[in-house]
Amino acid sequence: MTENLLALLDHDAPIREKTLGLEDAEAIKKASKQIRATLAGSGVCFDEAAELPVSVTPTVISSREARKVALEGGIVRQLINRMLNGFVDEHRRRAFDGPFHRFFTPYYKWWDIIATERRADDHIQLMRYDMVRSDDGRWSFMEPNCGRPGGTIHCAKIRDAWLETEIGRYFTHGTDITESTIDDPAGFVLFLANKAVAIDPENPNIAMLNYQGHYPNELPTIQRAHAALVRKGKIQESELLLGDIREIECIGGKAYLRGTPIALIHNKFESLDLDPADPEVRGWLDAARCEGTQFLNSLGAMYLGESKRSLAFLSDPGWSTHLHLSADERAAVQSVVPYTRLIEDLIGDAAIEDSLPGRAREAFVLKADSMTRGNGIFIGDNIAESDWAEAVSFTRTHHGIVQAKCNLPSRDGLRVNAEGEVVEVTEFYGVDAFYLGDQYAGLVGRSHVNQLFNVGSGGSEAPVLVIGDDND
């Protein structure tokens, strides 16, 4: 630790006035090494093998702002649930030409399995919004994640590891930090365990399932945390098993994984990879209709709510009219959902160069539907004009959306490069909001040297600190 940082530790400078500079290079190297060692010792990694990258620069949010985001995010979650209920109701009435089915035509292959699922809870029990706060103070929800959102346990472990470093103590010294459920490494696991007990008090076992080995990220960490809570007597005696959806069978109204009765299933896989006609997944599909087992997030959430086009249903008045928004709901959508339109609605039969995105390329982002980790995203001011028509065509082929480009915040940051040296970078950063059930669960963060700050595409996890402010 340099004398510069040690001196700052001795007084209560406001956290927003605290900075790191190249003179703190040794402290940054030490913190980065300590975080990596802590995470490795806990078995935390990315996709089973890769080291999980972590930024030493925290993102600081006031508790006043966090409360506003929590409220508006809760309203948007309710509206997506309402949209999914509208689809299911419409399907059960066999109104296949209704607005919800027209909107989700690309998902016709999965319509029947979505509409025949049996469940008692809302469609969305685990949700994460990808958000940014622009320089003018506007929060923008760029995408909803209600299929298989990550960060439910690793972000808390990263935050704890960062807080244990000298840099973490420097930033938090003399500051009241607000803690939320997602900041506790056990928070999500406790939520799962309580949900499983509510479904089946006698056998509250949980299955976390992938498909053909895709997206195993976090699953072993969650399994270890569950076992530790059982040993400590914090949750009821039960098992949390990892498996493949093809291992599920349904017997007598109950799902089983390798012979163990399952109350709750959390699906962690790329849902579009699944063919509902595949006989190998018949048991898993039967589990969705079992009385004694429930999926954490519904099939509707996994397919329709997870799709990038879902925000267009809220943003476009031509579609949102079918949700019958109240004035408060309309205000929340206008506040946090960027202008988002289905690409086929915005372009229609016009030539690409004559369409709005064709004429105002730098104002928009194109997003192919249901791709992950930054794939299929084209930022208008970050792509050559000669390549834009091809990007528009790709987005149309993949049933995507056109979204107003958000003013992504950036900051001067410091990173340890591959050679172990501390270098100055300009990094873009965002904040993600979690919801467990219908409750706001807290914020996590990410950063990247480019505008696609996805960890799967080279970004970093970043600790988030929610603090009080003068207006609280």
The answer on pLDDT for 6 being more than 50 is: no
pLDDT attached to residue 356: 80
Residues 38/161, Cβ–Cβ less than 8 Å: yes
Residue whose structure tokens are 């990038």: 308
Q: Report the pLDDT averaged over residues 243-263.
A: 96
Give the model confidence (pLDDT) of 16-32 as tens digits. 556 777 778 888 889 88
Residue 464's identity, in one-letter code, is V
* 451 dihedral zone (left: phi>0; alpha: psi -120 to 50; beta): alpha
Tokens (6 digits) for 77: 């979650």
pLDDT in tens, 255-304: 999 999 999 999 998 888 889 999 999 999 999 999 999 999 999 999 99
* Three-state secondary-structure class, residue 464: strand
Strands 139-145 and 126-133 come out as antiparallel
Residue in this structure with the two tokens 């089973």, named with its chain if needed: 48
Per-residue pLDDT for 68 more than 90? yes
pLDDT digits (tens, 9 = 90+) for 73-101: 999 999 999 999 999 999 999 999 999 99
What is the pLDDT averaged over residues 426-444?
Answer: 93
How far, in Å, are 5, 8, 36, 173 from residue 11 at the CA level?
Answer: 11, 6, 29, 8
Select from 336, 340, 364, 339 the least CA-distant residue to 352: 364
Alpha carbon 204 to its chain's center:
26
Element at 410 (helix H, strand E): strand 410-416
Q: Which two tokens stand for residue 309?
A: 């086009």
341 by DSSP, 3-state: which?
A: strand
**Which pLDDT value is given to residue 13?**
46
3-class SS of residue 277: coil
Q: Which domains are delineated in the chain?
A: 339-405 (3.30.1490)
Q: Is the pLDDT of residue 9 over 50?
A: no
Q: Check if the beta carbon of residue 110 is closer than 8 Å to that of residue 84.
A: no
Global pTM value: 0.91
Q: What is the Cβ-side half-sphere exposure of residue 151, based on CA atoms within 13 angstroms?
A: 36
Q: What is the pLDDT of residue 213?
A: 67
Tokens of 55: 């930024």
Q: Taking all residues of the chain, what is their mean pLDDT, rounded to a whole number? A: 87
* pLDDT at 200 (0 to 100): 97
Query: For residue 181, what is the DSSP state?
Result: G
DSSP element (H, E) containing 301: none
- pLDDT tens, residue by residue, 195-241: 999 999 999 999 999 987 665 678 889 999 999 999 999 999 999 99
